[in-house]
Structure 1
Amino acid sequence: QPVAAVPGVSERRYGAPGLRSATVESGAAPSHLLHYRWEATHAALLRQRELPASPYDDVMLEYVNPSTGRSVLPTLGCYIQMLRPGIGTRPHRETSSAVYHVVAGAGHSVIDGRRFDWTRGDFFAVPPRARHEHANDGDDPAILFSFQDVPLLTALGLYRMEP
């Protein structure tokens, strides 16, 4: 069977930060970039850790659709978060829900007053409006990937964050 498309075409067209192909129509479709490389993501986290960070998330980046600059999916946001060693975030709550995957490191989260310890490979969830905070208990950065319904709630005018 002949190859119908060039291998890696999505990364060739959309894989450069801040650039997209001028020959491809942009639109509101889900992201055309099918592969977000870890090397680029990790390098971006390392660059961001030298800048002032959020007291609620520490270092956090959102994966975006390179055609629109918006969330990768219309209703779900994908985020990568680094908690630097010894950092604990401030308690807060949001109208959104989140599912986390621990990519690296170890720490704990306090969700509505209950402590949950986590380490590499673990998953945990934060329900809507649950007061929560995260902390890195180790000597190395802790990295969390999350799916959150922030884009959906924002589009409906229902997203709120409360310290």
Structure 2
Amino acid sequence: MAFDYASPDRRRFYDKLSPLHAAPLWEVLKDIVPKEPASKASAHQWRYQELRPLLMESGQLLTAEEAERRVLVLENPGFPGESRTTASLYAGIQLILPGETAPAHRHTPSALRFLIEGEQGFTAVGGERTTMREGDFVITPAWAWHDHGNDGNGPVVWMDGLDIPMLRYFEAVFSEQSKSSRQVVSRPEGDSMATFGQGMLPIHAESPYGATTPIFNYPYERSRETLVTTAQNREPDPYSGHTLRYANPIDGGWAMPTMATWLTHLKSGENTLPVRSTDSMVMHVVEGSGEITIDNQVMVFQAKDVIAIPGWQWRHIKPSQDCFLFFFSDRAAHEKLGFFREQRQ
């Protein structure tokens, strides 16, 4: 049966509601509760070889201290001017030049760093400093003091990933600047890994960062070796290849409370089958090349590229070389809130 929602009587009724800031649900129900998710974000690729010259040019225009964080935001075409890489995730490419310091601050959003280029960059989190090497996954927990620097002779570049859009939705984003550019280092480098990352834990283990892992640097050398060994001994999953997630040693869950992170290894010829899920994700190509298809849009990628994958869009990957791919997504939040879904073809 067809209904005339725009009849004169109903329009007059709606006009009475408007001054009271009320509205009829039946006029918008199909839009706010659709049959399937429909992301406003676009699948998009940022080629590192195109961004790098501009990133280096930014280093000539202003210092890290002036900028506080010298970052090129990876802005999704679906959200111009909103500093969103997907609907719920922020990503950017940060540059630290030799001798520079990105001054200490803290903020409510959780942050991750994935090192793209350079060997002598460092970050300090909560009184512990760690050297960052290519492929390292480094965490800055929410409201933890942190600063960055570069003790080497060349530029250091990494990808930032934050849950800023999620916190903006809850109107819970705020920050604080430190009175000094660098925080006082109170623990030796490697203390977190030595205490929590060796397959054993203190008998009353607790993370100083609440729901975030107490390990804040997961070295790529170690992660890559583990993944390669796994790939030698097991068949790949047809939808995700050889994939290992970064885990919180306290409870075995995701390393961060709002963002899921994992590393995937695909050998040449190990094409994955189409899958889609409610979470949106960002893929960084650590090594290798190939192509990813996202809802029939084919993107040819190479090392150091970044790709945004909106939620509930079919994706599959065809590596042309052996690949190592780093992902972060909002899956951790989806699972905690109970609405994560995945569909496989």
Q: Provide the residue aligned with 1:82 in structure 2.
A: 265
Q: Contact between 2:213 and 2:250, CA under 8 Å: does it hold in 1?
A: yes
The alignment status of 1:142 with 2:311, answered yes or no, reads no
- For the residue of structure 1 that corresponds to 2:218, the secondary structure is coil
Letter in 2 for 1:79: W
TM-score, normalised by the number of residues in structure 1: 0.91
- For the residue of structure 2 that corresponds to 1:134, the secondary structure is strand
- For the residue of structure 1 that corresponds to 2:340, the secondary structure is coil
Letter in 1 for 2:259: L
The alignment status of 1:4 with 2:179, answered yes or no, reads no
TM-score, normalised by the number of residues in structure 2: 0.44
Q: How does 1:70-149 map to 2 (within 5 A)?
A: 70-138=253-321, 141-149=322-330
Q: Provide the residue aligned with 2:87 in structure 1.
A: none
Q: Contact between 2:207 and 2:213, CA under 8 Å: does it hold in 1?
A: no
Q: Provide the rounded CA distance (Å) in 1 between the counterparts of 2:204 and 2:277.
A: 39
- For the residue of structure 2 that corresponds to 1:11, the secondary structure is helix
Q: Provide the rounded CA distance (Å) in 1 between the counterparts of 2:299 and 2:268.
A: 18
Q: Provide the residue aligned with 1:34 in structure 2.
A: 216
Q: Provide the rounded CA distance (Å) in 2 between the counterparts of 1:156 and 1:23.
A: 28
Structure 2 unaligned residues grouped into runs of 5+:
1-183
Q: Deviations over 1:2-22 (max 9, x none)?
A: 863233211111121x32222
Structure 1 unaligned residues grouped into runs of 5+:
none
Q: Contact between 2:287 and 2:323, CA under 8 Å: does it hold in 1?
A: yes
Q: Contact between 1:108 and 1:135, CA under 8 Å: does it hold in 2?
A: yes
Q: Provide the rounded CA distance (Å) in 1 between the counterparts of 2:200 and 2:318.
A: 35
Q: Provide the rounded CA distance (Å) in 1 between the counterparts of 2:211 and 2:222.
A: 23
Q: Provide the rounded CA distance (Å) in 2 between the counterparts of 1:84 and 1:19.
A: 32
Larger radius of gyration between Structure 1 and Structure 2: 2
Q: Provide the rounded CA distance (Å) in 2 between the counterparts of 1:157 and 1:29.
A: 17
| Aligned-residue identity in percent | 28
Q: CA RMSD in A?
A: 1.6
Of 136, 147, 155 in structure 1, the residue corresponding to residue 336 of structure 2 is 155
Q: Which has the higher contact order (CA 8 A, sep 6+)?
A: 1
